[in-house]
Amino acid sequence: MRNIDIMRILLPPDDDSSDIKLGILLDRAENTLLDYIGRDELPERLNDMVVQLAITMYNRLGNEGEEKRGEDDISVSFSELITDDMKQRLKNYPRKVGTINADDP
């Protein structure tokens, strides 16, 4: 099954986002993961993480750059784009030799 089809299944049934919009989010998610692991090709086992990250990006549309927001008695906080559980999984894919890792001392 294609990532865009999986994303459509996981989004709310009344969502009418175009395939172009979802495709852009999937591309951005894949590029974000590739940058994180410092590779040119994404291991196939990370395809589900591309969808997971694309849905996170979808849910943040219109809230880019916000960390938290409060209105009246309601407070909303946004987690990091790549969560700790995702980072833990990405540790299984060491970076290519010669790439810079922001987490390195």
Domain containing residue 40: 3-90
Q: According to the model, what pLDDT value does residue 61 have?
A: 84
Number of domains in the chain: 1
DSSP string, 15-64: ----HHHHHHHHHHHHHHHHHHHT-SS--GGGHHHHHHHHHHHHHTTT-T
* pLDDT tens for each residue of 22-66: 999 999 999 999 999 989 999 999 999 999 999 999 988 876 555
Q: According to the model, what pLDDT value does residue 105 have?
A: 42
82: in domain: yes
* pLDDT tens for each residue of 60-103: 887 655 555 556 667 555 567 888 899 999 998 877 665 555 55
72: in domain: yes
60: in domain: yes
95: in domain: no
67: in domain: yes
Question: By C-alpha distance, which of 96, 85, 80, 78 is closest to 38?
Answer: 96
Q: According to the model, what pLDDT value does residue 54 have?
A: 96
Query: Please, which residues have CB within 8 angstroms of residue 60's CB and are 6 or more apart in sequence?
Result: 78, 81
Contact 58, 28 (CB under 8 A): no
**Residue 20 scores a pLDDT above 90:** yes
51: in domain: yes
97: in domain: no
62: in domain: yes
